[in-house]
Amino acid sequence: MLEPGEVIARTEEYVRSALAGDRTGHDWWHVDRVRRLALRLGRDEGADEFVVELAALLHDLDDAKFSNSETASAAAAAAWLETLELDKQLVDDVVSIIAGVSFAGEATPDQALSIEGECVRDADRLDALGAIGIGRAFAYGGFSGRDMHNPHVGPHSGMTRSVYRSTESTTINHFYEKLLLLRERMATSTGRRLAEQRHQKTKAFLDEFLKEWNGAD
């Protein structure tokens, strides 16, 4: 059986090469930030740090937006973990976290997760908020050829998973359709505190953007 440190080192190397060159918001540095944040939350919660780190590293290997299956990331993680011949319970714990991380629309409730899973999910969502989250949203919008803003296209509310996945929206609408909803969905206490700060920064940016757009600055 491999030592935990060796499992992490091999997984990190694998994920780095698998995500190299990604421009969809799931590049290696997103994964690295989520790993560091998830470990920070995990320490505050007394979570199993090995499970937290492994799940964080593998959480975006494949993404539902770019494949037909909502469970593609979990399947890709399972396939990798299989090659390491780990304890079956550990693999199941990590894979079920990855299957429950995604935000999939306002009307799609979050799955119940282990405390380790809550740390990874909170960390992933924190990286969608604040200065970095704003940067990622515009990078993603540019990558997918979307308008930054269109005053004639308003945000949708109450989206289900399939509507959320299939609706083309502007980057500014994404703030209303996802980013500003995340604060209410935090599960850990440190996550809630950081989300509150990042929410305020995100909201302040949005207000400023619309003020300038409308000539009200």
| Whole-number Å distance between alpha carbons of 170 and 178 | 12
Restricting to residues 156-185, name those near ligand ADP by CB under 6 A. Answer: 169, 171, 174, 178
Question: C-alpha 77: how far from its chain's center?
Answer: 15
- Nearest residue to ligand ADP by CB is 25
Per the CB < 8 A criterion, the answer to whether 42 and 50 are in contact is no
Question: C-alpha 48: how far from its chain's center?
Answer: 20
Does 99 sit near ligand ADP (CB under 6 A)? no
Nearest to 195 by CA among 204, 184, 205, 206: 184
Work out which of 60, 93, 116, 122 binds ligand ADP, going by CB under 6 A.
60
> Which part of the chain contacts ligand ADP (CB under 6 A), choosing from 50-58, 133-141, 186-194, 207-215?
133-141
Restricting to residues 56-85, name those near Ni ion by CB under 5 A. Answer: 60
| Whole-number Å distance between alpha carbons of 72 and 173 | 26
Neighbours of 40 (CB within 10 A): 18
Does 140 sit near ligand ADP (CB under 6 A)? yes
Residue 102 binding target from Ni ion, ligand ADP, none, CB below 5 to 8 Å by type: ligand ADP
Residues that bind ligand ADP (CB under 6 A): 25-26, 60, 63, 65, 102, 124, 128, 133, 136-137, 140-141, 169, 171, 174, 178
